[in-house]
Amino acid sequence: MSRGGALVTGSARGIGRAIALALAREGYDVAVHFRTSASEAEETRAAAEALGVRAVTLQADLTDLEAAGELVREAHAALGSLAVLVNNVGNYVHAPLDEVTLEEWRDVLATNLDATFATCRAATPLMRAAGGGRIVNLGYAGAQSLLARPNLAAYAIAKTGVVLLTKAIARAEAAHGITANVVAPGVIETSRTKPLGEIPAGRVGTVEEVAAAVCSFLAPEAGYVTGQVLEVAGGWNL
């Protein structure tokens, strides 16, 4: 029996794909979201269905905030419920702050923060009507501690906003049975830069380790955990 529907944004590949497949293994029907990677999204959908759940692919450009909200409603309609929302989409710029263009700045904030706001805004009424739900937003290790790192200012600022947004949602929706938490990856196998010398664990993380952290917030006993940040970073910020 299905545990309900789950939407994972940006789940055609990478961390998002690992999360979608982990949710499928947990028994959730899955909506695989993509913007341009249609063939990869179809591969993820097929892999999820092979695990015995229903899966659909849905296309949307989440920089269009109306489209972001509509994506949530489409996932709910296609799967019959929306028990879980995972916001994974977020573009990244690695450059000194004075070299970041206005277009890059806007894109990083739009894909990481604005899109998360739009999908959460659309999801919470649906979850309230169903008696509850789980929201997990992807952050960035160190953002909640306001750590400044060279060349990552735009991304870190956007992810700090995601942390505060998630805490605001957690507080507002706790009485409705909705939890909202952040999984904050550090240096992962898909990361563009890999400063191994800064990581006490001495290795990068795997996408499966990030997915496992997301699923930890979905366990029945995690219903009393909300507004929290879980780093998957190998001790990077210790």
Q: What's the pLDDT score for residue 227?
A: 98
- The pLDDT of residue 59: 98
Q: 84 forms bridges with which residues in the sheet? A: 6, 134
What confidence score (pLDDT) does residue 146 get? 87
Residue 22: what pLDDT? 98
Is 116 in contact with 182 (CB distance < 8 Å)?
A: no
**Domain positions in the chain:** 5-232
Looking up tokens 């929706």, which residue turns up? 173
Residue 155 is a catalytic residue:
yes
- Selecting among 28, 140, 155, 224, the annotated active-site residue is 155
8 Å CB contact between 139 and 183: yes
Q: Report CA-CA distances (Å) from 85 to 31, 173, 226.
A: 10, 14, 14
- Domain spanning 5-232 has what CATH number? 3.40.50.720
d(CA 11, CA 50) in angstroms, rounded, equals 16
Closest CA to 17 of 219, 39, 3, 107: 39
Buried b (16+ CB within 10 A) or exposed e, 190-205: beeeeeeeebeeeebb
pLDDT for 150: 81
Q: Determine the pLDDT at residue 192.
A: 79
pLDDT averaged per 10 residues in sequence order, the chain, 238 residues: 94 98 98 96 98 98 97 98 97 93 97 98 98 98 86 94 98 98 95 87 97 96 97 93
